[in-house]
Amino acid sequence: MQMTDLIAMLPELVMLVITCLMLLTVFIKEQKVNDEDVFETPRASQLTYQLTLVTLLGLSFAFGLQAVDQPVHAFNNMFLVDALSSLLKSVACLALLISLIYSKQYLVDRGLFRVDFFALTMLSLLGQCILISGSNLMSLYLGLELMALPVYALVAMQRDSRWSIEAAMKYFVLGAMASGFLLYGMSMLYGATGSLDLNEIYRAVGSGGINRLVLAFAVVFIVSGLAFKLGTVPYHMWVPDVYQGAPTAVTLLIAGAPKLAAFALVFRLLVGGLLPLTADWQPMIMILAVLSLIVGNLTAIAQSNLKRMLAYSTISHMGFMILGMLSIFDQHAYTAALFYAVTYVLTTLGSFGLLMLLSRQGYECETLDDLKGLNKRNPWMAFIGLILMFSLAGIPPTVGFAAKLSILETIVDAGYLYLAIIAVLTSLIGAFYYLRVVKVMYFDEPIQTEAIAAQGIAKAIFTVNGLFVLLAGIFPATLMALCLSAMSKTLLS
């Protein structure tokens, strides 16, 4: 191990040390009194929460400053620092920061404002960062498992809720199955190429001297595992149940930053390692995308539970995102997919944030009826909600429109006009259930009359979140240029 290796991984090491110190400080300073759980002590929880926010803000800046023109390979090429990884990790830290600000009052009201909650979220973020920077099959898999295992515990943290326990069990079992598929595909790939390094795999596969049948089976298992992690059809069965069963704060942790890590996993494996096998994995990606667009949008129409509706919405959006992976080594197509992933995560933060801001102790805002008449109760929150729904539907001038338009341009340029037609038609279907939410907020009479007790800082972040979605749609060039710069530097290297 060299000093350059440690410097390359310094932000992740800082994250790990701070997370361990959170737990150690609790056990050293807090004593169990009358069998009180040390993780539930108010003073420790508040200090840990503040430390977590400060750490995430600092890490977001650190990862942004870490962006390099030339990639840095560390730990025998197991860990890669490049422009793409720096951008994704910076946005992931920012997404988790916003998620925790939205979640504070929600967690307090449900007895989940605990030290172990924040420690688990930080460990999951650490896994995401390792996954995003993985350039070796081993580091990719370790990062994936470190990202997933803490989330299983978070889903089940509301121990008195049978829905949460059921969701955690489903998530764990199906997640283990997906990991098994992915690991089996990776083992076949290693057996065929003799290497775990993605660059070596790329060269070995491109040489043409490897048994194509073995590689084809490896691709099938790898793409199946990726589809599970993305939640695309037909591997989507866990998404709606987990989204609905988990506490809304945990649902946001699943729907937010991990999507960026999932994009990185798809990009590193399919483009960084298996690009010569495009003829094998591209038809599978195409089928997954089309099925996700159709099933996700059609099924979402029938949902009255907002969390389930947003779950099926996620399935359709993941299908839309992977359409950008169909162009062969096209930096503009990959940039469009990256832009879509980033903007989708930022929009999703606000959508689930709205549900948490409207929830209170003993009451969950999670059905369409709960949003009835929101414009009469709080016109500004209804307006921000309208912007977020318009963005998810892809209606101009929001950033969701710019993201969908960029994907459509790339698939038309690649010669897949029929896919563009399918994507547009399914987006029109999807617009129905998003506009239904707007109709409920603006034209129905309110059922809930209690005052909205959201904290000031959470409401301020919600406002900034919504306005960013609007302004980034009116002026998308800056964010698109940032994504293009990161992707072009990564591909050229």
The pLDDT, as a whole number, for residue 37 is 54
User: Which portions of the chain are predicted below pLDDT 70?
Assistant: 1, 26-41, 329, 451, 454, 493
Tokens at residue 388, please? 């977020």
Q: Are 347 and 336 in contact (CB under 8 A)?
A: no
The pLDDT, as a whole number, for residue 34 is 45
Tokens at residue 448, please? 């809930």
d(C-alpha 180, C-alpha 229), whole Å? 12
The residue among 184, 116, 201, 106 whose CA lies nearest residue 150 is 116
The pLDDT, as a whole number, for residue 208 is 76
d(C-alpha 282, C-alpha 327), whole Å? 9
8-state DSSP, 246:
S
Tokens at residue 29, please? 């300073």
Amino acid at 353: G
Instruction: Find how far residue 443's CA is from the centre of its chain.
Output: 32
The pLDDT, as a whole number, for residue 444 is 85
The pLDDT, as a whole number, for residue 26 is 62
The 10s digit of each residue's pLDDT in 160-172 is 888 888 888 989 9
Domain of 213, in residue numbers: 3-492
The pLDDT, as a whole number, for residue 345 is 94
Tokens at residue 449, please? 């009359």
Number of domains, the chain: 1
Residues in the chain: 493
